[in-house]
Structure 1
Amino acid sequence: MTQQSQGFNTPQHNDSDDVRLMAMLIYLLGFVSGFIGPIIIWLVKKDDSKLIDQSGKSYLNMFISYMIWCAVPVVIMMFSLIFYMPFDPTSGLISIFIFLLLNLVILGLLITFSVFNIIGCVKYYQGTYYQAPLSIRFFK
């Protein structure tokens, strides 16, 4: 089933400018306040419009998913630094290489999160639904 047939990317022309602005603001506040600002707006305004409700769920799904995706390399880095580095100088070099590589992975995930956050701002201001790639749907 395509995203078009699921109702994604279809404009909600009956939504007012205020509703679209609130839906966009959920994503925009994510840059400044992480998840606190978006969750407050979503909890207060979710009953006002389906677009705001979907925007809040979509943002929280994206935020939680990307935090999980970033936690995996951090756990691998910690495991590598704690268990391999102290015992052998050559494995210490391997640990440093793994550490640098996983830092690049985390940087890539953060850039990807920021790009999809901007796309979400634009899509919800246009009045269309948006589900970011790599997002696990915790809230449906």
Structure 2
Amino acid sequence: MLPEEIQKLQNLREQGALSDEEFEEAKGRLMANDRMGKSDSLMGLDLNNYRALMHASQYAGFIVPFAGLVAPIVLWAMAKDDYPEVDTEGKYILNWMISALIYSVVSGILCLFLIGIPMLIAVIFMGLIFPLLGTLKATKGESYEYPLTIKFLS
């Protein structure tokens, strides 16, 4: 929609209805409004804090069952089309959540043979530490790809 609006302004300028100054002012307002519209998809947060929230939202499952699975996906879906960084980070998080689920199921099955107990403890530990590391990295503007993650989405 923005390119169409700028084209309309360009046409008005070419017809003499707008001066160069008026054109630049109107174009600046359109660009500012477009940026403001995008920030709405980040719930008023800057990009780094939004990405950090995506990582930290995995802890919501400790308060509300399954919220730790749903919240990061919802946050990712809300802004992935407008922000490539959010899309990338969301894929990293989703890949980790799927991988952790697989590791948990396999560890749970192997608990029958006792070998799964330390594996399950390790998966739980990683599930607590990795989102924290992702949150800290995101606040610094760095991307964090979870270790030991199977890449389902790229």
Same fold, judged at TM 0.5 (above): yes
Which residue number corresponds to residue 21 of structure 1? Answer: 49
Q: Which whole-Å CA distance do the structure 1 matches of 2:98 and 2:121 have between them?
A: 17
How far is the alpha carbon of 1:48 from its aligned partner?
A: 2.2
SS in 2 for 1:59: helix
Answer with 1 or 2: which has the greater Rg.
2
Shift of 1:50: 1.4
- Which residue, 129, 132, 143 being the options, matches 1:115? 129
**Contact 1:27 1:118 survives alignment (8 Å):** yes
**Aligned residue number for residue 105 of structure 2:** 71
Counterpart amino acid of residue 72 in structure 2: P
Contact 1:39 1:56 in 2 (8 A): yes
User: How high is the sequence identity, in percent, across the aligned residues?
Assistant: 26
TM-score of the two chains, using structure 2 as the length reference: 0.63
The one of the two structures with greater contact order (alpha-carbon pairs below 8 A, sep at least 6) is 1
Question: Structure 1 stretches of 5 or more lacking a match?
Answer: 1-16, 81-97
Question: Which of 42, 45, 61 is equivalent to 2:79?
Answer: 45
Runs in 1 of length 4+ with deviation above 2 angstroms? none
Q: What is the TM-score with the length of structure 1 in the denominator?
A: 0.68
What are the superposed Cα offsets for residues 54-106 of structure 1, whole Å, 9 maximum, x if unpaired?
Answer: 111110011110110111122234xx4xxxxxxxxxxxxxxxxx34x422321
